[in-house]
Amino acid sequence: MSTSPALTVMIAAVRKAARGVQRDYGELANLQVSVKGPGDFVTAADKRADKTLREELAKARPNYSFLTEETGVVAGSDPEHRFIIDPIDGTSNFMHAIPMFAINVALERKGELIAAVTYNPVTDELYHAEKGQGCFLNNKRLRVSARKDIHEAVVSYEMPHRGGKDLPLSRAEAGALQAKVVGIRSIGSAALALAYVAAGRFDAFVCRNINPWDMAPGILLVREAGGFVADPSTEANPMESGHILAANAELLPQMKAALAESSKF
């Protein structure tokens, strides 16, 4: 397995940001019991990681544009290349000291995803993919699940946070799935859930109303592991609609059909 110079830069930036994130994560145990709580601290941790990623990536690729959760659009002089960053996906897990969150960087060329890194610093699991080169977890090749029947599937359905959009629809869709699958999970990080689909841990994943930075790296991971992504109920591009379904070729249509039955729930 060889990695391109761009991916090498992305992995180095993620690992550098991870050192700070890990230090901050270690502090959280103390903050859990403080009166002020961990809220502001977590916001600061997010911003620190965002800054490290942008600085490291810009050092190596000074002309590329950025889209990041913390800083939005930063236009570069190169109109073709754009890094998409979510410094900590799974912030509420991070805040609760639940070790399920990830540092995420994707690279687009002319609007097409060409490289991706998702890293959980607590479990030291680094997922990476490049277009046409496959998907890897700690340098070991990944394949999506081979299950062909939705009745044997363990699926991840990410429920909206309190006050989030489409709560009734999400409850109905989770209900419709629950009637068919072995079990449903909701792990609080869309980025990690997509990586788990790439790893064949989850047979499928569904999430509504998320942002491009939540899904960009995971989309490439899933595709390069042999899976597919789609909007759960329309023909739209998930990066544009904000709604995503990921699964293997056999389960994708079965998931769509099951979700379409949500009107009965």
| Interaction site with ligand IPD (CB under 6 A) | 69, 86, 89-91, 158, 188-190, 207, 210, 214
CB of 43 to ligand IPD, least distance (A): 11
Residue 252: contacted member of Ca ion, ligand IPD, none (CB under 5 to 8 Å, by partner type): none
CB of 252 to ligand IPD, least distance (A): 20
Distance CA 191, CA 214 (A): 6
Instruction: Report the interface residues with Ca ion, using CB under 5 A.
Output: 86, 89, 214
Residue 225: contacted member of Ca ion, ligand IPD, none (CB under 5 to 8 Å, by partner type): none
CB of 3 to ligand IPD, least distance (A): 26
Residue 158: contacted member of Ca ion, ligand IPD, none (CB under 5 to 8 Å, by partner type): ligand IPD
CB of 86 to Ca ion, least distance (A): 4
The answer to whether residues 229 and 223 touch, using CB atoms and an 8 Å cutoff, is yes
CB of 137 to ligand IPD, least distance (A): 19
Give the residue among 35, 22, 28 at the shortest CA–CA distance from 97: 28
Q: Token pair for residue 32?
A: 């859990």
C-beta closer to Ca ion: residue 108 or 252: 108
Residue 90: contacted member of ligand IPD, Ca ion, none (CB under 5 to 8 Å, by partner type): ligand IPD
CA torsion through residues 103, 108, 113, 116, sign: negative
Strands 154-158 and 183-185: parallel
Residue nearest to Ca ion (CB): 89
Which of 65-88 are b and which e, b meaning 16 or more Cβ less than 10 Å from the residue's Cβ? bbbbbbeeeeebeeeebbbbbbbb
C-beta closer to ligand IPD: residue 94 or 136: 94
Helix (H) and strand (E) counts for the chain? 8, 13
Q: Which residue has the tokens 């709604």?
A: 243
